[in-house]
């Protein structure tokens, strides 16, 4: 490694070089000043000493000699001073570079480990300076990567789990058919068909989820009469409410302004919320859908008298694959993705979707707001 490379590649030598330059420039200035000013000062002092020495009878010491030896000692002292200053510059650069280089080295090692997939790596934050900020930013990035990785692993685990149930029941039924244990009649085929439909629904949900999470949903927004949309969604699910023995009421405020929305997407949200209310409300209960203006926005509320939701579950309902009752056998139900998609869709409209419940057995309320069309 040449000296040039050494200085170019090592912070420590860069610092030393800059300090050494400061020391040398300072010394040269000092030397020139001493050379210019010292003789005048010396002559002045020598004259005073001469008169003193004549009183003391030491006239043979010449002013000339005095000046020479004085200049020699000035040079000597300056030389020593330069050497000491250079030494100090070296130690200083060592100390400063240690303070800068060590954190940078740690950061380099940590980013290598991060690149190798160790997302738990963190580095100590030294003080409040720029290096400290950099370390804090690095740690934040590592934490976010760790979370992303965790979500990815969870997703794979959840998808695998969701696929396993319908696949194993299809396999069991097929084996039953092959072995002659199950009768080859329409009932068996309908069961197989419904498991296949469940798989298909899951695949569709996953596709939709990945698109909404990637922000790839294109909204075709127009001023929409939300009352018409709510009534249409209710009408579509009315037969299922009737079958289950549930009452479904729709209340639309008079003179409701139009909202700026993608009709199909908001229909999807309404169907999801009404479908959940239908699913989680036992026979004999009721579901009420309302639309009203509140604080300059339109609020749509779906209130049911169903199973309700415990407070500890409320914050998680909109996480993908989250289900309050993990073990519930739900042949017609989703996989805990519906609300995740619904919230993304409402948020893409610039709105918000939330859930509330007084507790288990006391019904639930899901509500969302949409902006009014200008």
| Contact string (CB under 6 A) for ligand ADP, positions 277-296, x = contact | x--x----------------
Indicate the SS3 state at residue 229: helix
| 14 makes contact with ligand ADP (CB under 6 A) | no
368: Cα within 13 Å, side-chain hemisphere:
26
User: Per-residue x/- mask for ligand ADP, residues 315 to 334, rule CB under 6 A?
Assistant: --x----xxxx-------xx
Residue 276 engages ligand ADP in binding (rule: CB under 6 A): yes
Enter the tokens of residue 335. 């996989």
- Between the CA of residue 304 and those of 222, 275, 294, what are the distances in Å? 30, 11, 21
Rounded CA separation 315/323 (Å): 12
By CB under 6 A, tell whether 368 contacts ligand ADP.
Answer: no
Binding of ligand ADP by 309 (CB under 6 A)? yes
- Give the contact letters, 331-360, x = binds to ligand ADP (CB under 6 A), - = no: --xxxxxxxx--------------------
Q: Which is nearer to ligand ADP, 135 or 309 (CB)?
A: 309
- Of 97 and 335, the one with the shorter C-beta distance to ligand ADP is 335
CB proximity list for 304: less than 8 A, separation 6 or greater = 277, 280, 281, 285, 286, 287, 288, 363, 364, 365
Q: Is the CB of 226 or the CB of 337 nearer to ligand ADP? A: 337
**Contact, 261 vs 349, CB < 8 A?**
yes
Decide whether 205 or 262 has the Cβ nearer to ligand ADP.
Answer: 205
- In angstroms, the CA 340 to CA 343 distance is 5
Sorted by sequence, the CB contacts under 8 Å of residue 118 that are 6+ apart come out as: none
Range in contact with ligand ADP (rule: CB under 6 A) among 210-218, 231-239, 255-263, 305-313: 305-313
Smaller CB distance to ligand ADP: residue 248 or 339? Answer: 339
Residue 150 CB, nearest approach to ligand ADP (Å): 20
Q: With respect to ligand ADP, which residue has the nearer C-beta, 223 or 361?
A: 361
Nearer to ligand ADP, 103 or 363 (CB): 363
Q: 364-371 and 352-356: which strand pairing?
A: antiparallel
Rounded Cα distance, 288 and 247, in Å: 8
# binding residues, ligand ADP (CB under 6 A): 22
CB of 255 to ligand ADP, least distance (A): 29
16 belongs to the binding site for ligand ADP (CB under 6 A): no
- Asked whether 89 and 23 are in contact (CB, 8 A), the reply is yes
Rounded CA separation 251/291 (Å) = 7
Q: Tell the smallest beta-carbon distance from residue 162 to ligand ADP (Å).
A: 10
Give me the sign of the Cα torsion angle 6, 10, 11, 12.
negative
Q: Which three-class secondary structure state does DSSP give residue 366?
A: strand
**Token digits for 201?**
């629904």
Nearer to ligand ADP, 44 or 316 (CB): 316
Binding-site ranges for ligand ADP (CB under 6 A): 272, 276-277, 280, 304, 306-307, 309, 317, 322-325, 333-340, 364
């Amino acid at each position: 490694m040449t000296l040039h490379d050494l200085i170019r590649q090592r912070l420590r030598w860069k610092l030393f070089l800059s300090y050494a330059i400061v020391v040398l420039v300072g010394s040269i200035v000092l030397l020139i000043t001493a050379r210019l000013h010292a003789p005048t000062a010396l002559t002045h002092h020598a004259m005073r000493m001469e008169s003193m020495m004549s009183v003391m009878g030491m006239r043979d010491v010449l002013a000339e000699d005095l000046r020479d030896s004085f200049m020699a000692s000035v040079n000597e002292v300056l030389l020593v001073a330069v050497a000491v200053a250079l030494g100090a510059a070296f130690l200083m650069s060592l100390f400063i570079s240690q303070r800068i280089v060590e954190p940078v080295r740690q950061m380099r090692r940590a980013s290598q480990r991060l690149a190798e997939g160790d997302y738990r790596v963190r580095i100590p934050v030294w003080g409040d300076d720029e290096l400290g900020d950099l370390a804090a930013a690095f740690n934040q990035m590592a934490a976010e990567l760790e979370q992303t990785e965790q979500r990815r692993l969870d997703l794979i685990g959840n998808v695998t789990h969701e696929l396993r149930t319908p696949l194993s029941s299809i396999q069991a039924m097929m084996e039953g058919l092959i072995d002659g244990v199950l009768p080859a009649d329409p009932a068996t085929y309908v069961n197989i068909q419904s498991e296949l439909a469940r798989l298909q629904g899951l695949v569709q949900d996953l596709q939709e989820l990945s698109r909404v999470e990637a922000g790839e949903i294109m909204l075709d927004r127009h001023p929409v009469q939300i009352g018409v949309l709510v009534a249409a969604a209710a009408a579509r699910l009315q037969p299922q409410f009737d079958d289950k023995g549930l009452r479904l009421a729709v209340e639309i405020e008079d003179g409701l302004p139009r909202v700026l929305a993608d009709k199909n997407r908001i229909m999807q949200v309404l169907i999801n919320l009404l479908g959940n209310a239908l699913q989680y409300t036992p026979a004999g209960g009721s579901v009420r859908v309302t639309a009203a203006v509140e604080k300059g926005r339109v609020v749509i509320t779906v209130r049911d008298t169903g199973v309700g939701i415990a407070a500890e579950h409320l914050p998680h309902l909109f996480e993908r694959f989250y289900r309050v009752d993990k073990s519930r056998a739900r042949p017609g139900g989703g996989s805990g993705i519906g609300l995740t998609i619904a919230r993304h869709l409402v948020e893409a409209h610039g709105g918000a979707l939330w859930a509330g419940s007084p507790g288990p057995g006391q019904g639930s309320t899901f509500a969302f707001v949409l902006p009014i069309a200008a």
